[in-house]
Structure 1
Amino acid sequence: MELQTKIPLKSSDNPIDYHSKLVLLGSCFVENMGKKLDYFKFQQMQNPFGILFHPLAIENLVQRAIQEESYQKGDIFEQDGIWRCFEAHSYLRSKDSGELLQLLNQRLTETKIGLEASSHIIITLGTAWVYEHRDSNKIVANCHKVPQKQFTKKLLSVTEIESSLNNLVGMIRKMNSLAQIIFTISPVRHVKDGFMENQRSKAHLFAALHQIIKGHSVSYFPSYEIMMDELRDYRFYGKDMVHPNELAVDYIWQKFKSVWIAKDAYPIMDEVEAVQKGLMHRPFNPDSEAHQKFKTSLRTKITYLQERHSFMKFD
């Protein structure tokens, strides 16, 4: 008896292994998959400018990075003694304008280097709703709790999204023709926009992305569909009834792993996980002989991994 409608998945012919270099950009679902990849010590760069919810924000970041359009004083603003940037997440801030500009431009350089070296680029689209700053007439990535009267809210059309994604793919391909681009649509529902409005938003993303998949050699991973069809139960959501909970994230990760992680990477993942669990172990008696032997064994495992994969770092 089948109690789920299963989303058909096909294994990639260009899977991720421990030689791969990943760049993850987009909405908060990037953070979920990024944490898993980080836990298993894959080589990755994750949202260097923080969470980016809509396609225009991702396109803008990639364009700035590739074209080396450095941030200037006019690109940042001061609010309550803190300098911020409408193109970056709120955690990128400083009390000093020069310090913020240095940080933003350093992240731009890192983004360009990451994109140039990447073997896989994972892009998660969250919403088609955007906010336009009235004074500058620019679409922002983050409103930073600036009063809403300073913005105009609008829904990107399918044509606008398709154009943005075309530009995004084109820029990446021109710089790094070998990178595998993987798109997903976030399963997180933006219900603060309204329930009908969220559906319209996701529909626009799907319609535009369908055209991109048809027109370019890019891939798609159905995280949204898995959440909506295979996990259609509130026991898979967090307390807000919107975000996938840990169980749901683990489930979607296993699906992603089955199609996008190379099978010969699994034994190494098992070794890494054994070390991670060891590092989380809290002994009853830290000075005991048994615990000292355990620590020695753990250090040996870490050394063995790092001898083969020098990029791996463990806390």
Structure 2
Amino acid sequence: MKLQTQIPLNKETRNPINYNSKLLLLGSCFSENIGNKLVYFKFKASQNPFGILFHPKAIETFITNTVNEKVFLEKDIIFQNECWHCFDAHSSISSTNKNELLNNLNTVISSTNKKLKEATHIIITLGTSWIYRFVEADTIVANCHKVPQKKFLKELMSIDQVSESLEAIVVLLKSINTAINVVFTVSPVRHLKDGFIENTQSKAHLIAGIHQILNEKNVSYFPSYEIMMDELRDYRFYAEDMIHPNTTAIKYIWEKFVFAWFSEETAATMKEVDTIQRGILHRPFNEKSHEHQYFLEKLEIRKNQVEQQFPFINF
């Protein structure tokens, strides 16, 4: 008896991810779940330089500013609740010091420009197609930073607007890196503050918008949202808030991503890295015992073997 529907996955054979890949992850908080896995397994990966970005226009703006090497000035930031913020960035970037914020913004733009030019893969996780427009400047913001809601208009991006934004992202990326692989996915995190029906409509627009541009070269889709909705359709796979996937769900989707995007050789190295990482975290009953010292010696040998094969890895 089969008690679960399975999302069919095509294994990437043209441009799979390996330990020589350079990865950048952008988007919703789910991109950080995957990013943290990549960091754990010691890949060359960076995530959300401007913090979490939820919707396509926020990501498009960030990539536009990065490709054009925008210099942020005082006019680009605001002071709210005793802190300096930028509407283009998440509040995790904000600072109580104006100059520190500007320096951080410009440093990130410069470093990310370099990463985009060198990246082999960029993984973009879209969270919502609901956007907020700052009325005073008639601009779409990445984060409202608790500025009074009356100063914004809430809008739902149409399917065409989503696809146009994603198309612009792809064009911008390929303007500085023709070989980059773009992987889109939709976050399984439900944005229920927008409303149940509104969240479903939002996700539908994202999915439909993505599929309108999948004919582009080196542009792919990974079904994170569909795996959560169809393979893991049970609240035991959610965190206590019943909104975010729990640890089990994140691990499950990660394993599906590994199957689809990683070669068998890379997966074997990941298994060795995992063994070493768990060995490092191991806490013995007796640190001075002969058995533990032998364990440490063997662990050191395994670490050296991996580090010799991949010099950028440092345990």
Shorter-chain TM band: over 0.9
Tell which deviates more after alignment, 138-147 or 121-130: 138-147
CA distance in 1, matches of 2:80, 2:115: 31
Letter in 2 for 1:3: L
CA distance in 1, matches of 2:167, 2:267: 34
- Which position in structure 2 is the counterpart of 1:291? 292
CA distance in 2, matches of 1:212, 1:295: 51
Spell out, residue by residue over 1:70-124, the C-alpha distance to the aligned partner (whole angstroms, 9 max, x if none): 1111111122332111111111122211111111111111111111101111111
Spell out, residue by residue over 1:238-296, the C-alpha distance to the aligned partner (whole angstroms, 9 max, x if none): 10111111111111111111110111112211111111101111222333343333333
* TM superposition score normalised by structure 2: 0.96
Number of matched residues? Answer: 314
Give runs of aligned pairs for residues 249-260 of structure 1, distance below 5 A: 249-260=250-261
Secondary structure at the residue paired with 1:213?
coil
CA distance in 2, matches of 1:40, 1:298: 16
CA distance in 2, matches of 1:59, 1:161: 10
1:221 aligns with 2:222: yes
Give runs of aligned pairs for residues 44-55 of structure 1, distance below 5 A: 44-55=45-56
CA contact (8 A) 2:41 2:273 kept: yes
1:301 aligns with 2:302: yes
- Which position in structure 2 is the counterpart of 1:165? 166
CA distance in 1, matches of 2:282, 2:203: 42
Secondary structure at the residue paired with 1:214?
coil
Spell out, residue by residue over 1:128-149, the C-alpha distance to the aligned partner (whole angstroms, 9 max, x if none): 0011112222111111222222
1:6 aligns with 2:6: yes
CA distance in 2, matches of 1:217, 1:305: 30
Letter in 2 for 1:69: K
Letter in 1 for 2:307: Q
- Which position in structure 2 is the counterpart of 1:123? 124
Letter in 2 for 1:7: I
CA distance in 2, matches of 1:254, 1:59: 29
CA contact (8 A) 2:180 2:218 kept: no
Q: List runs of 5+ in structure 1 lacking aligned partners.
A: none
- Which position in structure 1 is the counterpart of 2:183? 182
Letter in 1 for 2:244: H
Letter in 2 for 1:165: L
Tell which deviates more after alignment, 84-93 or 283-292: 283-292
Residues 216 and 266 of structure 1: CA distance in aligned 2, closer, same or farther (over 3 Å): closer
Give runs of aligned pairs for residues 259-298 of structure 1, distance below 5 A: 259-298=260-299
1:56 aligns with 2:73: no
1:209 aligns with 2:210: yes
Letter in 2 for 1:27: S
- Which position in structure 2 is the counterpart of 1:140? 141
Secondary structure at the residue paired with 2:53?
coil
Secondary structure at the residue paired with 2:25?
strand
CA distance in 2, matches of 1:123, 1:186: 10
Spell out, residue by residue over 1:42-72, the C-alpha distance to the aligned partner (whole angstroms, 9 max, x if none): 1111111111100001011111111111111
CA RMSD of aligned residues (A): 1.4
CA distance in 1, matches of 2:303, 2:72: 40
CA contact (8 A) 2:55 2:126 kept: yes
Shift of 1:215: 4.6
CA distance in 2, matches of 1:70, 1:42: 30
1:194 aligns with 2:195: yes
Give runs of aligned pairs for residues 79-90 of structure 1, distance below 5 A: 79-90=80-91
CA contact (8 A) 2:183 2:222 kept: yes
CA distance in 2, matches of 1:290, 1:180: 47
Secondary structure at the residue paired with 1:276?
helix
CA distance in 1, matches of 2:138, 2:191: 24
Letter in 1 for 2:120: S
Shift of 1:297: 3.0
Secondary structure at the residue paired with 1:163?
helix
Q: Percent of counterpart pairs with the same letter? A: 51
Give runs of aligned pairs for residues 60-99 of structure 1, distance below 5 A: 60-99=61-100
Tell which deviates more after alignment, 9-18 or 129-138: 129-138
Secondary structure at the residue paired with 2:267?
helix
* TM superposition score normalised by structure 1: 0.96
Letter in 2 for 1:173: K
CA distance in 2, matches of 1:81, 1:222: 41
Tell which deviates more after alignment, 74-83 or 55-64: 74-83
